[in-house]
Amino acid sequence: MSTIGTSVPRKEAPNKVTGRARYTNDINIPGTLSAVVVPAHRAHGKILSIDTSEAKKVPGVKAIVIGDDLSVLTGDVTQDRPPLAKDKVRYWGEPVALVIARDESIARRAAALVNVRIKPLPVVNSIPDSLADNAPLVHEKNGDYTVATPPVSPKKKSNLADQANVKKGDVEKGLKASDVKVQVHVSLPQIDHAAMEPRVAKAEILADGRVLIHASTQAPFEVQKLVAQYFNLKPGQVIVTAPLIGGAFGGKAAIQLELLAYIASKAVGGQMVKIANTREEDLTMSPLGLGLEADITLGATKDGRIQAANMKFYLDIGAYTDSAPRIARAIAAQCTGPYHVANVHTDVFCVYTNHTYTTAFRGFGHMPMTFAVERAVDELAQALKMDPLEFRRKNAIDIDNMTPTKARLTRSNLGDLPACLNEMERLIGWQGGEVQAVGPHRVRAQGVAAFWKTSSSPPNAVSGAIITMNSDGSVNLSTGAVEFGPGTKTTAAMILAEKLRIPLDRVYVHEDVNTSVNPEHWKTVASLSTYMVGRAVLDAANDLLQQLLNLAAIVLRCSPDDLDYGNEHVFVRDDPHISIKFSDLALGYKYQEGDSIGGQLMGRGRFMIRHLNLLDQETGHGKPGPAWTVGVQAVEVEYDQETHQYRVLKAATVLDAGRVINPQVATGQVMGGMNMGIGVASREGVHYDPNGTFLNPQFRSYKVMRMGEQPQQYLVEFVQTPQMDSPYGARPLGEHAVLAIGAALANALSRAANTPLNTLPITPEMIWQQRRERR
């Protein structure tokens, strides 16, 4: 009996189909107050005055807090963001004041009465605006802010919040040695995570000084640390709980509402206060995914070997840095895509604008980066008149190559990209990149793109697991990873069931995370939970097994070395009839006489990623993550040459999963990722008007995919090359299916429309526009 490799439903599935699954906003204590922000209706301006007098008169208003009441500056890396705008507003929708009232209706009515006078300043409304000579400064103090977690290198008196670079080989020499060169400029708008559950947080300050925070967060332990740090509390005083989360995609790794909830509770003497984003607030006020402009130069010899990559990435990070410097380094570290390129020079710039600030988005910068690189790779293949899939196979990164940051690649830490390319060729019925006419004005085309990604986690990220036994011999599993959809808890339970050789239903998972109860898990991000939590679970399982065997050895009067286990029994290996049930050991063993030994058995496990380091600020060299997941994605489109409308017929992914723990869940992750990636590439993007006003803050204007718009066919296959240090060889795969599918779509449509499509989203109007400009 093996659990690993079987398609089991998520542990919480029955609750999710009965309305019994509870999310943060479903758990309410009567008497909870409500906090609502007053948003800035200017993208850039000096705050002249904030008049709260009318708002305070509204019956039921308890307190109003403004930026001047606070002194803290926050930020994951650079501390540049006041929780409430102070002196200046830097994006449309930025919170300027916080109204706390008896209920949300009252708070919203009062918020509308807060009179904020803002003197408009010139708006930095794009990356070129931001980089222009004498551009207005989004942050006058850029370069002077406290840096919480280096590295970051801001440039004073400019809008450059950070720059990172990677140098390998000699890019000039490499380009000289190239017979064919392509230059590609890509431009991608900011996008929204659009998790179906809007962000929400609640806070209360108990009389004994403890601070309780309940939030829809991917990072409860980070919330604990940062709330303590920002507000001069002891970490143990701050208790953060996160129940089930209604989608996250990186957007709930940022910390914003938690701080406002704490500030609100503090303003009303510690009463429980809730702040729940409307959809409009979730889009405009809370952080987005970054926008990108990039200039990519690639050179290759005429036999199709890439010689050099010279790249500049400009990230529209919006008004505050948040995790942008980390993302910039992740982009730099993987800048070549999954190809062996000997000569690389890449600069990544984090550019402040008067747009909503940004944070991690599924793929941690690898999605926009991959789009840029894969468009250039496809253009290069086309310039060389080579089959784009063949070209990728020729240049695919493989073991014994070095990454751009000179990390060493092994069969364990790198998936098998050539094998993925071979499988894709078969899976989608690859036509060599040729466009086929299928009717008057209608053509079909295929596009392919490849990805790789590592975790870019801090070198000291930790994870833990605690297993306790129940009287019937079943186990409870406690970890610090939150559940927002990918089945993190179920996977951890499967790993435990496999190790203890028990059925999955004998493992009970602790669904919520509570920082004072569960062992720490860095953040539930970077698709790392299977690896990190899994390793901690195995460590804990070993600890528990040792306790089981030791206690059984006493009872069975033998050495623990003589014992084995299975079927919820510990038994003597050479005479299995001599055995004892787990349940007789779980809470200690009771002798016939009634005296007992042992006590409750509980396993403790922990894990820390080894051998990572921060990238060298000069050269960018270093090891950014434990392993690189690789994969190939392809689409087949049908395109109407007259209307420029198109339909995705097939979307395919082949990914080296190392080992597939739960095939149905893994396939679902990959299909969902493709759907999101196609949505981003085909319709998503924030619109700002010339004043920096956010124009599409609702689902009727920020369009995401709906039923019927998905590809006619999804194709998913896994290559399985084990990652040796990961549980059962599994590689991370949660984020990855978004990474290259948009590039594959653009590659297919660029061929079909016979014009390079380097701007997202690719709407019929965009294609029409590109073709017009080209004529």
Q: Which of residues 461-520 bind other proteins (CB under 8 A)?
A: 484-487
Q: How far is the CB of 646 from other proteins (least distance, A)?
A: 10
Instruction: Classify the phi-psi angles of 318: left when phi > 0, otherwise alpha if psi is within -120 to 50, otherwise beta.
Output: left
How many CB atoms sit inside 10 A of residue 128's CB?
12
Stretch that binds other proteins, among 277-285, 301-309, 516-524, 542-550 (CB under 8 A): 277-285
Q: Please, what is the minimum distance in Å from the beta carbon of residue 527 to other proteins? A: 14
The least CB distance from residue 528 to other proteins, in Å, is: 18
Residue 409 burial (C-beta neighbours within 10 Å; 0-12, 13-18, 19+): middle
749 near other proteins, judged by CB under 8 A? no
CB of 772 to other proteins, least distance (A): 8
Name the segment binding other proteins (CB under 8 A); options: 141-149, 271-279, 297-305, 544-552.
271-279
Minimum Å gap between C-beta 678 and other proteins is 9
User: Exactly one of 379, 569, 761, 770 binds other proteins (CB under 8 A); which one?
Assistant: 761
Judging by beta carbons within 10 Å of its beta carbon (0-12, 13-18, 19+), is residue 304 exposed, middle or buried?
A: buried
Under the binding rule (CB under 8 A), the answer on residue 6 touching other proteins is no
What residues numbered 39-98 form the site for other proteins, per CB under 8 A? none
Element (DSSP H or E) covering residue 774: helix 764-774
Stretch that binds other proteins, among 203-211, 258-266, 329-337, 757-765 (CB under 8 A): 757-765
Find out whether 641 and 740 touch, Cβ atoms under 8 Å. no
Quick check: 195 binds other proteins (CB under 8 A)?
yes
Q: Find the shortest distance in angstroms from Cβ 124 to other proteins.
A: 21
Which region among 61-69, 206-214, 630-638, 763-771 touches other proteins (by CB under 8 A)? 763-771
The residue behind tokens 């450059």 is 160
Residues 714-743 that bind other proteins (CB under 8 A): 714
For the bound state, the minimum distance from the C-beta of residue 279 to other proteins, rounded and expressed in Å, comes to: 4
Write down the least CB distance from residue 103 to other proteins, Å.
9
Instruction: Map residues 555-584 to x or -, x wherever contact with other proteins holds by CB under 8 A.
Output: ------------------------------
Would you state the structure tokens that stand for residue 272, as one six-digit string? 């429980």
Min. distance of Cβ 200 from other proteins in angstroms?
A: 10
List the beta bridge partners of residue 165: 347
User: Which of 68, 695, 724, 774 touches other proteins by CB under 8 A?
Assistant: 695
Q: Which residue has the tokens 């920096």?
A: 692
Q: What angle do CA 553, 559, 564 make, to 5 degrees?
A: 70
Residue 8, classified by CB atoms within 10 Å of its CB into exposed (0-12), middle (13-18) or buried (19+), is buried
List the one residue from 65, 99, 161, 244 that touches other proteins (CB under 8 A).
244
Q: What is the DSSP letter of 615?
A: P
User: Residue 244 Cβ, how far from other proteins at the closest point, in Å?
Assistant: 7
Q: If binding is defined by CB under 8 A, does position 249 make contact with other proteins?
A: yes
Which of 21, 180, 608, 649 binds other proteins (CB under 8 A)? It is 21
Longest pairwise C-alpha distance within the chain: 95
Q: Which part of the chain contacts other proteins (CB under 8 A), choosing from 207-215, 527-535, 563-571, 706-714? A: 706-714
Residue from the set 131, 668, 693, 755 that interacts with other proteins by CB under 8 A: 668
Stretch that binds other proteins, among 69-77, 173-181, 266-274, 704-712 (CB under 8 A): 704-712
Q: Does residue 216 contact residue 201 with C-beta atoms inside 8 Å?
A: yes
> Got the DSSP string for 658-703?
SS-S-HHHHHHHHHHHHHHHHHHHHT----B-TT--B---STTTS-
Distances 214 to 463, 577, 681 between C-alpha atoms, Å: 21, 50, 34
Contact assessment for residue 148 and residue 79, using Cβ atoms and an 8 Å cutoff: yes
Does 361 help bind other proteins (rule: CB under 8 A)? no
Residue 211 pairs in a beta bridge with 205, 238
Q: Is 643 in the site for other proteins (CB under 8 A)?
A: yes
Residue with Cβ nearer other proteins (550 or 769):
769
- The count of other CB atoms within 10 Å of the CB of residue 613 is 12
Residues 383-412 that bind other proteins (CB under 8 A): none
Closest contact distance (angstroms) between CB of 26 and other proteins is: 4
Residues contacting other proteins: total by CB under 8 A: 79
Residue 197 found at the interface with other proteins (CB under 8 A): yes
Q: What part of residues 128-167 is at the interface with other proteins (CB under 8 A)?
A: none
Q: Nearest Cα to 579, choosing from 600, 597, 558?
A: 558
Would you call 236 exposed, middle or buried from its count of C-beta atoms within 10 A (0-12, 13-18, 19+)? exposed
Binding flag, residue 18, other proteins (CB under 8 A) = yes
Q: Single out the segment in contact with other proteins by CB under 8 A; choices: 150-158, 502-510, 511-519, 756-764.
A: 756-764
CA 115 to chain centre: 37
CA quadruple 99, 103, 108, 109: dihedral positive or negative? Answer: negative
How far, in Å, CA of 327 to CA of 334, rounded? 11
Compute the least distance from the CB of residue 215 to other proteins, in Å: 15
**Cβ atoms within 10 Å, residue 101:** 26
Those residues whose C-beta lies under 8 Å from the C-beta of residue 55, and which sit 6 or more positions away, are: 61, 64, 99, 110, 111, 113, 114
Can you tell me which of 6, 26, 187, 641 binds other proteins, judged by CB under 8 A? Answer: 26
771 binds other proteins (CB under 8 A): no
439 binds other proteins, rule: CB under 8 A: no
The residue within the footprint of other proteins, chosen from 699, 725, 754, 755 (CB under 8 A), is: 699
**2 binding other proteins? (CB under 8 A):** no
Number of Cβ within 10 Å of residue 406's Cβ equals: 16
Contact 99, 61 (CB under 8 A): yes
Give the Cα separation of 72 and 69 in Å (integer). Answer: 10
Whose Cβ is closer to other proteins: residue 185's or residue 683's? 683
Q: Which is nearer to other proteins, 321 or 491 (CB)?
A: 491
Could you give the CA distance from residue 633 to residue 379 in angstroms, rounded to a whole number?
17
Alpha carbon distance 752, 437 (integer Å): 10
Pick the stretch among 245-253, 289-297, 339-347, 571-579 that binds other proteins (CB under 8 A): 245-253
- Report in angstroms how near the CB of residue 390 gets to other proteins at its nearest: 29
Least CB distance from residue 263 to other proteins, whole Å?
22
353 binds other proteins (CB under 8 A): no
Out of 105, 542, 546, 559, the only residue in the binding site for other proteins (CB under 8 A) is: 105
Alpha carbons 346 and 167: distance in angstroms, whole number: 7
Q: Classify residue 137 by its DSSP letter.
A: P
